[in-house]
Amino acid sequence: MDDSSEEPILEQNSLISEHQQPSVSAPAYRGKILLEPPVLLLNYAFFVSSAVLTDQLIYQACTVSFGVNKSECAQLGKEHESADVQALEARVQPYTANILMVESMINSILPAVLNLFIGPWSDRFGRRPVLLATFIGCLLSYLLDTVICFLSSQYMVNPWFYFITCIPMALTGSICTLMTTVYCYIADVTDEQNRSTKMAILEAVQYSGMLLGNLSSSYLLRMTNATTVFAVSTGSVSLAVLYIACRVQESVVLEEAQRRADFCTKVRYLFRPDLVLDTFKTTFSSRGKHNRAIILMGIVAVGANFFVYEENYTILFLFMRKQFNWGVRKFTMYNTANTIFLIVGNLLGSYVLQKRLGLTESGIAAIGFYSAFLDSLVKAVATESWQLYLAVTLCLLKGVSDPMSRAFVSNAAPPEDIGKIFALSSTFEELVPLAAAPLYTLVYKQTLPWYPGAYNWISCGIYAFCYSLAMTVCVLQSMQKTTGYR
């Protein structure tokens, strides 16, 4: 058959298998999750440079945008700030918060749209190409951070140039598409019995990357400089890209026509609107008793969790600087302690509460949301830093809400629908910062002079809402067991 007929065959085969479940590449491969190392490296890259980026933005905003001399700006973020330095900090922080808000929005809008196309595309052409593309996008973004930071040490570079660094990551789907693909990969190679455990392990790996990044961040900055910290992030993601290219196997069996498809054919398939419509139809389709409600409530709960998580990127470091006069070192120490207890709580929730005590995923998720509510409540009223550490200790189960919510969502749907449901869920998660970042920034800026922690009350309300959703899912699942329906 000639080359001109190859594309129609691909299209026909794709339409025939539109609703088929992606199958694993080999029976022996089932249950083997090999994505932990690159996910660990990516999270390390993010958290080793996150607070340093905010600190660098504040410094460059002070020197370039406000025209203050470098010696005065260098005092920002130091312990025991004078009254003059604190007044300067109050001027610079709102300006920096605006930059962080714009970066957050850039990393939300485009990836959210792309994810609706890329998710179904990976069902047809595999997970591995998407993983490579998203990690390479992250690599290019960190490389641009390194270059701009280096140039700022030589010249007066406006801090708004940092928003350019978001573009490569956004064009390849950012964390939204990356995590959609990761969860689809897990669904490909696990079954209902061990899926929640695998998701909890992956969450623990993410927290481990966070821990290592927070532990080394302030020390790297103190021993070297901001440019070196960004270079370390770049190197970490480079290793992740190499690992995926050399070690990660494809989890989807591709038909012959799909394997032989050329680049142009794959790109045309990527932007098919009917795939997006099918994603929405699959997610909102009528299912067995209560399963559609369970899926939708799980998606809303995870998205709301991401809404609150946005304050970690835009406001939390600024709040700690203002309320407790913390620099990068103290902030990373707090994040380190927080992460250690998150890892312990995550493993405790997935093993002890589920395996030993027999609690359902939705029940454990409800406990996690309640713990997160208490943590935000403490931050809202805290006047001493030890109170934050007490909350971290008592609320160690707050990290289990996300993996357990995803687990009960995946268990409420047939395997062939999980990829589309996760694609829409991740898109929703990526869109919530569009509302979260401006809201948290506005509240923080308006209350900064008299109550910097006021924004935490927003988080308290949202976690209370998530807790009610998880408890509703518990009731619906108990009704399923009572009626003998599954």
- Of the pLDDT bands very low, low, confident and very high (cuts 50, 70, 90), residue 33 is low
Helices and strands, number each (H, E), in the chain: 21, 0
In whole angstroms, what is the distance from residue 406 CA to residue 399 CA? 13
Calpha distance 251→35 (Å, rounded): 11
Whether 5 maps to a domain, the answer reads no
Phi, psi of 238 (to 5 degrees): -60, -40
Determine, yes or no, domain membership for 129.
Answer: yes
Half-sphere CA count of 245, side-chain side, radius 13 A: 10
More confident: 225 or 122: 225
Residue 80: is it exposed, middle or buried by C-beta count within 10 angstroms (0-12/13-18/19+)? exposed
Q: What is the mean pLDDT of residues 139-146?
A: 94
Is 2 within a domain?
no
Nearest to 39 by CA among 225, 332, 241, 188: 241
Q: Residue 242 pLDDT more than 90?
A: yes
What digits encode the pLDDT tens for the residues 454-466? 889 999 999 999 9
392 located within any domain: yes
pLDDT value at 6 more than 50: no
CB atoms within 10 A of CB 280: 12
Residue 304 structure tokens = 């709301």
Tokens 């400089």 sit on residue = 225
Phi, psi of 68 (to 5 degrees): -85, 150
CA Rg, the chain, in Å? 23
Q: What's the pLDDT score for residue 193?
A: 67
**pLDDT tens-place string over residues 340-369:** 888 888 878 777 787 777 788 889 999 999
Q: Quote the domain boundaries for residue 367.
A: 34-252+272-483
- The residue ranking higher by pLDDT, 206 or 124, is 206
Q: Which of 214, 244, 243 is nearest to 229 (CA)?
A: 214
| Locus of tokens 């454990």 | 364
CATH number for the domain including 336? 1.20.1250.20
Query: Helix crossing, 415-431 with 433-447: angle to 10°?
Result: 30
Q: Has residue 11 been placed in a domain? A: no
Q: pLDDT grade, residue 3 (50/70/90)?
A: very low
In angstroms, rounded to a whole number, what is the distance separating the alpha carbons of residues 216 and 2? 58
Q: Please give the Cα distance from 447 to 433 (Å, whole number).
A: 20
Q: Name, in order, each residue with C-beta under 8 angstroms of 255's C-beta and a sequence gap of 6 or more.
A: 13, 17
Number of other residues whose CB lies within 10 A of the CB of residue 386: 8
pLDDT digits (tens, 9 = 90+) for 243-281: 998 888 877 666 665 666 666 767 777 777 887 888 888
> b/e per residue, 449-486, with b = 16+ CB within 10 A?
eeebbebbbbbbebbeebbebbbbbbebbeebeeeeee
- Residue 319 class from Cβ within 10 Å (0-12 exposed, 13-18 middle, 19+ buried)? buried
Burial class (CB in 10 A: 0-12, 13-18, 19+), 370: buried
pLDDT one-digit tens code per residue, 378-423: 988 888 888 888 888 888 888 888 888 888 887 887 766 777 788 8
DSSP code of 20?
A: S
Cβ–Cβ under 8 Å, residues 420 and 120: yes
| Within-domain flag for 15 | no
Domain count, the chain: 1
Contacts of 54 by beta carbon, 8 Å cutoff, 6+ apart = 96, 100, 317, 318
208-232 pLDDT per residue, tens: 888 888 788 888 988 999 999 999 9
Instruction: Give percent of the chain with pLDDT exceeding 90.
Output: 18
Q: Average pLDDT, whole number, for the chain?
A: 80
Contact 463, 377 (CB under 8 A): no
* Predicted pLDDT of residue 1: 40
| Confidence bin at 298 (pLDDT 50/70/90) | very high
- DSSP at 486: -
Tell me whether residue 128 is in a domain: yes
State the pLDDT at residue 469: 94
Is residue 334 within 8 Å of residue 320, measured between CB atoms?
Answer: yes
pLDDT value at 29 more than 50 = no
**Comparing 124 with 17, which gets the higher pLDDT?**
124
Tokens standing for residue 220: 């790297």
For the record, the structure tokens of 54 come out as 């905010």
Residue 240 lies inside a defined structural domain of this protein: yes
pLDDT > 80? residue 370: yes
